Structure 1
Amino acid sequence: MNNKNVNIQLTKEEAIVLFEFLGRFNEIDDSSRFEDQSEQRVLWDIECILEKELSEPFQADYLEIVKNAREAVRDEKE
């Protein structure tokens, strides 16, 4: 297997929504959700990468930022 990186592009809003989800998901201590511990490790790593890239989680109005990001990402209602 070669060791090339895979790059994924996310909008700022998508990154915020994903970061918030991973934060909640990673707090649940239930290893039965994973077929292998490597899956858990990857999710932890993605959360850490996003934490390094985003300044929003450290802002006082973070909950409002998350709300707005969710609205921006959510599918439109028909």
Structure 2
Amino acid sequence: MSDKKVNIELTKEEAIVLFEFLGRFNENEDSSRFEDQAEQRVLWNIESSLEKKLSEPLRADFQDIVSKSRERLRDKNE
């Protein structure tokens, strides 16, 4: 197998929302959600990568930032 990388671009809002989701998801110890432990490892790795790139999770108003990011990303009902 090759060690080639796959890059995915996210907006800042997408990265914040995904980071918050992965943090909550990864806190749950229910490994029955995974078919293979490698799936869990991938999610841990993505969360770790986002943590290294984002400064917002360290801010006191992070939950407000998450709420605003979710609002901007949410589909608008027309």
**TM-score normalised to the size of structure 1?**
0.97
Structure 2 match to 1:2:
2
Name stretches of at least 5 consecutive residues in structure 2 with no aligned partner: none
What displacement does 1:62 show?
Answer: 0.6
Aligned to 2:60, the other structure's residue is in SS state: coil
Runs of 4+ residues deviating >3 angstroms: none
What displacement does 1:3 show?
Answer: 1.6
Name stretches of at least 5 consecutive residues in structure 1 with no aligned partner: none
Identity %: 71
What displacement does 1:61 show?
Answer: 0.7
Structure 1 match to 2:27:
27
What displacement does 1:53 show?
Answer: 0.3
Task: Give the Cα separation in 1 of the matches to 2:2 and 2:40.
Answer: 22
Structure 2 match to 1:52:
52
1:3-52 CA distance string (max 9 Å, x none): 21000000000000000000000000111000000000000000000000
What displacement does 1:2 show?
Answer: 1.9
Task: Give the Cα separation in 1 of the matches to 2:77 and 2:64.
Answer: 21
Structure 1 match to 2:41:
41
